[in-house]
Structure 1
Amino acid sequence: MTRTRQLAAIMFTDIAGYTALMGSDEQKAFELLNQNRQLHKPLIERYGGRWIKEMGDGVLASFPTVTDAVSCACALVQGCGKVNGLCLRIGIHLGEVVFEDGDVFGDGVNIASRLQALAPPGGIWVSEAVYQNVANKKDISTKLVGEETLRHVREPVRVYQVQPMRHKPKPTEPDAPRNEPPKAAPPKSIAVLPFVNMSNDPEQEYFSDGIAEEIINSLVHLKDLNVAGRTSSFQFKGKSTDLRELGLKLGVSTVLEGSVRKQGNRLRITAQLINVENGFHLWSEKYDRNMDDIFAIQDEIALAITEQLKVTLFGKDKELITKTYTQDAEAYELYLKGRFYISRRGGYTLIGLQNFKQAIALDPNYALAYAGYADAYLVCAAYGFFRGKDVMQEIRQAAETAIRLDSSLCEPYCSLGHYYPYFEWNWAESKRNFTKSLELNPRFAQAHSLYGLAYLAQVEGNFAEAERHGRIAVKLEPLSAIDHADLAWTLYYARKFEEALAFALTGVELDPYSFLSHRLAGLCYMALNRFEEAISTFKHLVKISNRHQQAVNGLIWAYCSNGDVEEANVLMDELKERAVTEYIGGSYVGLSAAHLGDLDTAFHYLEQACDDREPYIIQLNHSPSVPALLREDPRFQKLLDRIGFPK
């Protein structure tokens, strides 16, 4: 038995979010673990370190000097940017340790392990002994975190955060969101997690989700409170996530979580407000009420949050918090179902559409139900479930009715902002309504995202301003696959293909079934001449979308770009056969015909798309998906003139 005692720099690393990933996608978790191993081993060797052992998703290594350990840690953090989904926490301590039979023991190991556990995702936390050795290194910046009391360590440890000096990426590297340690969350900030459905009926999930969403909506207007967006908060649904990690990802200091049991007309709702830093409960309550009391319960929870977080209520804030949009509990349930289903996209949107319609039938004065009805029809038309000309009147009437009933709502103005460019080609009204929506609620991520994409990028070609709004949306909803995909689309129009791909792939990581994210990734691969990857991406999208027409058309474009014309023609024949029994959008098929070199057929379909008021037709003005052969044909400019884009 060989035992030696010596001074060494001990480094612990751990994959942030690995446990949750293992629970949701075991295969992906194992692949990530292997990529983590491939990143660590050569870097540890390069900096003169010793690989001690691997513990689950963690790695323990030792180094002869502190500089080597910290330099290796910085290289690891930077290397994470090249591995999709990999984000490390790292802790380093310098101390006397015992090496015995290939393992290492001692307080130095324990302290490094505790520092790693406390570090934020993407962060490197070191002890003061390490800091003293690297404080003057020009390629490394440090800042004091504070004193931490570590488990099984007698005295508090002074902790510092190390940040490697970053270099600008090469032109071929995507300028994507990086794994930089996030800023401290404001004290008055909250994420409302989806409530747990404790009912025997899993179909009641819409109700538990809906309660959380309504509490978010009542709080988001408060200027003195930062509220994490609904989509980002709901990313943690059903996952056992460390509260500290959740707080860092969402930039909040508190979390509201709860549960709902609904049986007939009886409700049992529990709610608790938790400090994410220490896990302490700031407030908790249990409600045993009837369904008719649901609005009062939501008001009480929202007001309790403002009281516990000492939120200042200005002007009509209290009125906004307790505002009830319907007194009909059944209509309210149908509204919650509608929102639940349209957030799932795809065919579920058709179910949501019917739920909103039923809610309106029960309460014709329910403004939010009309706004939801307009949004559902917009999404259905965008996905090709209906001809635009067949539903445009329904969309406009629903949104305008919502505004007539309650002009303080931001949602219907956003719906109209989205409606006018896609269906009426009315650019001025689009801009006016998007602007009004953002005036009413500057934190409405959907309005930022759609204003950037559907108007500024696709209509005006103002890509810089479009990107600014897209980035605001991502900041407001950092875990929303849809907002990442919309920003990717904007960057794609701006010909920033590497950046667009990075955001699209982040969207895929956030939601492996995100139709938009996969689609944008495929288009970006095509633009970058990575045709095999484009084909693979669109094949996968065709499969997971049940051969959605937009996915099939994307695969046709990818095949044509790669010279696989026979494969493309087989798919084109499929779409023509399907057009006998279902609506197939002319704008997509028109582009497919153009990619196949058949311009007469292409213009036939594109003119039909204009007649049908297909939403996608306005995207042709700036889209890189338009083949040069089509764009150079004189008929193409006539088509654009017919639409009447602003000069």
Structure 2
Amino acid sequence: MSNSIDNEYFCDGLTEEIINALAKIKDLAVTSRTSSFHFKNKNITAREVREKLKVATFIEGSVRSSINKMRITVQMIDTVDDFHFWSETFDRKPEDVFEIQDDISLFIAEKLREHVGHLEIEDKLVEPIDVPTDVYREYLKGRYYIMKLDYKNTIKGIKILQNLIKRAPNFSNPYLDINQAYVYMGTMGLLPAFEAYEKAQPYLLKALELDPNSSRSQLNLAWIECWQNWNLKKAYEHANKALDIQQADDIYLTISNFLTVEGKLEAARNYLDKALQLDPYAAINHHYKGFLYYLQEDYTTAIPFLKKALVLDPMLPFPPIYIGICLLMSGKPNEALSYFGSLEGVSVKDLTKLGGETMCYAKLNEMEKCHDGLEELETYLTTTQVDKALTFLILVNALLGNNKKVVELVTQAYDNRLPLILLLNPSPILKPIKNHKSVKEILLKAIPDNLNYKQNKKYKQALLDTNEIEKYSKELEQIMADYKLYLNPDLALKDLASYLELPANYVSQLLNMGFQKNFSELVNSYRITEFKQRILLEENKGLTIMAVAYDSGFNSKTVFNTFFKKIEGMTPNAFIKSTLKN
């Protein structure tokens, strides 16, 4: 509520820190930055917030700042009844910035606990940073520009942070933000991927040296292990560490990316849905949901998600590519050609228009125009746009059935360590050539431990034999231990099938023969075990039995009581009394 832009980026930074602090509290779902900031400076009702963000409670506040004094007002509002639980004013000196962040975060957390139920809250939610206030304010200024997510402002933010590093070389945050900025530009096509990752790496290495255990450090390591080092095992390890530290939409999106690389598209969608729940106004989340439907060849369902992404961020470079390809692959080549031809702005610069039109000419059998397009795309192979040029060249030649040329281009992409290699396996356009010997060898070299690349699974009529049942039973037990799928109350048999990469019929047989249980019995037995562990925890003593049951994955009181008595031979109340006596 001050006129200076300096106070705007300080207010944004304060808000983001409070969001991150509250997101660290287990069992508390907190809407992420993008969706929270979507409502900044907008006149909106509590009902609209509830409907758009699917939240029960929201925090609203403002900052007034002068040279010597800062006044922050905070209030908590129930979205169902539009009821103000409380309102509080904090008067502080501007130099007490870290104390302010922690005080407000703890105050909000305590008030939430009073009104919505038990939460386990640490003594501190925001750790103070050992830098002067003016350095921290300058950092927030650089981050303010980077988070605008366009090329011009991102470069401006990077320069601010690079100058700041000279003043505070041991402050880890600027290094992480510069790394994130370059990786984002490489991923979004604002810079060539190789160049962007190369510029990003020294900043990440320095950040890891200074602060290796933050969620952002772990998330950046996960990206590097996947897209640069092509090591999915390590990528998952770092992403899961990040998720343990903080439940954030970009971490769920990242794990969804990795599952997509493996071809586990249903599992990828489960993680993506969690990202969308936490950040429903993030354009990239809507784009990725559309992209997953595209990979599953559900083109009609994909297009609305891709269009929604462009409404939220018209400069996002990916959705136009897949809107056009979805039209093309759903039997509408002329409509696709018209769509690609109408693109302007960023889509022209990143070869989407040229590449898309050339794909349409291939599908329409207009060979002269297609040949001209291929020749023009090839001129970009020695430029900074080699990534996009190769992608379109591979797709066009696959549509033409030029398998030899596709192999040559895939080899070129592999030799240049281009990230596009990792997304060849699930591409519907490349289905006819995916099992070509040379292509399969390249995919295996890129990710040698990925079974998806090793074989084209053909299931026999007789379903699973004894050895396969033993093998997949162990695999399912490990998946349940690693991912705790049973905590999802909407878990279905098809979800288990997607993780095991087996048809649902096979998984049904596996459960019956490997575990002597049907799907419902198996999943609810895991939930009962989880409940028995949770109900005895000190942190859950203030919760009702059903609150713990719901936290353990149940969504029905009747189902919970029925299965508990069936498995344990007693009611939940009797179990608790019996355990406490012992």
Q: TM-score range by the shorter chain?
A: 0.5 to 0.7
Between Structure 1 and Structure 2, how many residues are aligned? 445
Q: Which residue of structure 1 lines up, in the alignment, with residue 183 of structure 2?
A: 378
Name the one with the larger strand percent: 1
Q: Which residue of structure 2 lines up, in the alignment, with residue 33 of structure 1?
A: none
Residue 414 (1) aligns with residue 219 (2)? yes
Query: Partners in 1 of 2:119 and 2:431 — Cα distance?
Result: 54
Distance 1:288 1:228, change over 3 A: same
Distance 1:577 1:474, change over 3 A: same
Q: Which residue of structure 2 lines up, in the alignment, with residue 471 of structure 1?
A: 273
Residue 531 (1) aligns with residue 333 (2)? yes
Distance 1:580 1:608, change over 3 A: closer
Deviation at 1:616, TM superposition (A): 1.9
Q: Secondary structure at the match of 1:609?
A: helix
Deviation at 1:631, TM superposition (A): 4.7
- Which runs of structure 2 are paired with 1:232-631 in the superposition (5 Å)? 232-261=35-64, 267=70, 269-286=72-89, 289-310=92-113, 317-319=122-124, 321-347=125-151, 348-390=153-195, 392=197, 395-396=200-201, 398-399=203-204, 401-441=206-246, 443-453=247-257, 455-458=258-261, 460-539=262-341, 541-545=343-347, 547-550=349-352, 552-563=354-365, 575=377, 582-585=384-387, 586-591=389-394, 594=397, 597=400, 605-626=409-430, 628=432, 631=434
Query: Partners in 1 of 2:303 and 2:44 — Cα distance?
Result: 28
Query: Partners in 2 of 1:534 and 1:334 — Cα distance?
Result: 47
Query: Partners in 1 of 2:72 and 2:341 — Cα distance?
Result: 44
Name the one with the larger helix percent: 2
Deviation at 1:535, TM superposition (A): 3.5
Q: Which residue of structure 2 lines up, in the alignment, with residue 636 of structure 1?
A: 439
- Which runs of structure 2 are paired with 1:36-47 in the superposition (5 Å)? none
- Which runs of structure 2 are paired with 1:56-75 in the superposition (5 Å)? none
Deviation at 1:556, TM superposition (A): 3.3
Question: Which AA in structure 2 matches 1:254?
Answer: T
Q: Give deviations 1:114-140, integer Å, cap 9, x for gaps.
A: xxxxxxxxxxxxxxxxxxxxxxxxxxx
Question: Which AA in structure 2 matches 1:366?
Answer: F
Query: Partners in 1 of 2:90 and 2:374 — Cα distance?
Result: 58
Question: Which AA in structure 1 matches 2:253?
Answer: S
Q: How well do the aligned residues superpose, as a CA RMSD in angstroms?
A: 3.6
Deviation at 1:373, TM superposition (A): 2.9
What fraction of aligned residue pairs are identical, expressed as a percent?
28
Q: Unpaired segments of 5 or more residues in structure 2?
A: 452-582
Query: Partners in 2 of 1:292 and 1:546 — Cα distance?
Result: 47
Q: Give deviations 1:519-578, integer Å, cap 9, x for gaps.
A: 333332222223344334444554354522356434433443344555555655655566
- Which runs of structure 2 are paired with 1:32-181 in the superposition (5 Å)? none
Q: Give deviations 1:295-330, integer Å, cap 9, x for gaps.
A: 2322232233223333578666231x2323453334
Q: Secondary structure at the match of 2:76?
A: strand
Deviation at 1:222, TM superposition (A): 1.4
Q: Give deviations 1:439-493, integer Å, cap 9, x for gaps.
A: 222x22111111112x1111x2122221211122122222322112222223322
Distance 1:221 1:575, change over 3 A: same
Query: Partners in 2 of 1:550 and 1:326 — Cα distance?
Result: 46
- Which stretch has the larger CA shift, 466-475 or 379-388? 379-388
- Which stretch has the larger CA shift, 296-305 or 343-352? 343-352
Partners of 2:377 and 2:393 within 8 A in 1: no
Query: Partners in 2 of 1:338 and 1:613 — Cα distance?
Result: 31
Q: Which residue of structure 2 lines up, in the alignment, with residue 127 of structure 1?
A: none
Q: Secondary structure at the match of 2:185?
A: helix
TM-score under structure 1 length normalisation: 0.60
Q: Secondary structure at the match of 2:331?
A: coil
Q: Secondary structure at the match of 1:271?
A: strand
Question: Which AA in structure 1 matches 2:249?
Answer: A
Q: Which residue of structure 2 lines up, in the alignment, with residue 160 of structure 1?
A: none
- Which stretch has the larger CA shift, 381-390 or 469-478? 381-390
Q: Give deviations 1:29-64, integer Å, cap 9, x for gaps.
A: xxxxxxxxxxxxxxxxxxxxxxxxxxxxxxxxxxxx
Deviation at 1:227, TM superposition (A): 1.7
Query: Partners in 2 of 1:555 and 1:293 — Cα distance?
Result: 57
Deviation at 1:403, TM superposition (A): 4.5
